[in-house]
């Protein structure tokens, strides 16, 4: 890893939807550092989130209140394994997709792992509790057309993920209208998302209000590496700003295209996706064709652990 590559690197962390039964099992077997992360998370939560990750069942793993700490723990375990093998340069920035911001803040030294898993366990609970509504992904429609579609159907843009890939949130009847209109207006695909509510929309404001006291009473340290925020795609390090981001992002859209372009404009050319799967690698490659994007599994498999 050259000094120039290190200066131009960012770490990115996935959100919900990246989970699968079995995630992290081989990682924990091969990496003592990763195994220690699972043990720490189990102790912080008071139950074995590790068993849920390694063995399922899928129906329990997919519950929002389980899925969130499971993905966060697995992402941090990947980071520990990568650092154990000295495979990562220090980043100039960190970023996370929705839930992934918590993983990013653990990586940046702002949140303690135990505090983070307890927070996202609570975040999952309140998102399920205030989960009125539904979401769809609209494929093959540009951002301007998708925003007009949202206005015309009474829904909100929830995720601006990549060119031609937008998620919409709203009440079920409005989502039904948006689905029909999207097809009429030439969308290539409309996919109903398997989520329990209208995430990243104004319908989640009660969930943000419910989370605020927990976030405000959690110790947050200045970030060693700036977090490029979902809400307004700016780099922040101050604890008060970080707390505000974690509250606001619950009911604000995830501006992932802007997040990635902010890093690109700052000179980032190398992205490491740290966590289960490679969803963000695919999105980043569409936002910045030719960017160097490496998922954690690929990096670990190319450098086997020493015997």
Active site annotation includes 217: no
Q: Say how far apart CA 282 and CA 131 lie, in whole Å.
A: 28
- Paired sense of beta strands 9-13 and 93-96, if any: parallel
Using the structure block, give the residue that is written with the tokens 């009660």.
206
Q: What is the DSSP letter of 204?
A: G
- Which among 97, 103, 200, 201 is annotated as catalytic? 200
Q: How far is CA 186 from CA 60, 144, 149, 163, in A?
A: 37, 14, 11, 15
- Which among 50, 98, 110, 179 is annotated as catalytic? 98
Using the structure block, give the residue that is written with the tokens 């929002």.
64
Active site annotation includes 98: yes
Q: Is 48 buried (19+), middle (13-18) or exposed (0-12) by CB count in 10 A?
A: middle
Angle at 251 between CA 9 and CA 52, to 5 degrees: 70
Count of beta carbons in the 10 Å neighbourhood of residue 30: 15
Enumerate the active-site residues: 98, 200
């Amino acid at each position: 890893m050259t000094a120039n590559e290190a200066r131009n690197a960012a770490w990115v962390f996935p959100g919900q939807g990246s989970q699968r039964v079995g995630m992290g099992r081989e990682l924990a077997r091969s990496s003592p550092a990763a195994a220690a992360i699972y043990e720490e998370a189990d102790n912080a939560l008071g139950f074995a989130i590790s068993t849920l990750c390694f063995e399922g069942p899928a129906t329990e793993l997919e519950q929002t209140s389980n899925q969130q700490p499971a993905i966060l723990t697995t992402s941090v375990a990947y980071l520990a394994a990568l650092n154990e093998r000295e495979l990562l340069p220090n980043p100039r920035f960190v970023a996370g997709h929705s839930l992934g911001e918590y993983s990013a803040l653990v990586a940046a030294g702002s949140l303690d792992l135990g505090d983070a898993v307890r927070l996202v366990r609570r975040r999952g609970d309140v998102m399920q509790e205030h989960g009125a509504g539904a979401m769809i992904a609209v494929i093959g429609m540009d951002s301007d057309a998708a925003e007009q579609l949202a206005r015309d159907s009474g829904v909100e843009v929830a995720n601006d993920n990549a060119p031609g890939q937008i998620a919409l949130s709203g009440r079920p009847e409005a989502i039904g209208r948006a689905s029909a209109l999207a097809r009429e207006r030439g969308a290539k695909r409309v996919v109903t998302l398997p989520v329990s509510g209208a995430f990243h929309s104004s319908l989640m404001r009660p969930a943000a209000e419910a989370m605020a006291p927990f976030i405000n009473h959690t110790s947050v340290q200045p970030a060693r590496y700036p977090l490029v925020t979902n809400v307004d795609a700016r780099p922040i390090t101050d604890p008060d700003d970080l707390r505000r981001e974690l509250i606001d992002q619950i009911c604000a859209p995830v501006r992932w295209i802007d997040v990635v372009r902010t890093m690109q404009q700052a000179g980032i050319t190398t992205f490491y996706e740290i966590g289960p799967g490679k969803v963000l690698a695919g999105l980043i490659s569409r936002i910045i064709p030719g960017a160097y994007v490496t998922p954690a599994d690929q990096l670990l498999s190319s450098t086997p652990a020493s015997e």
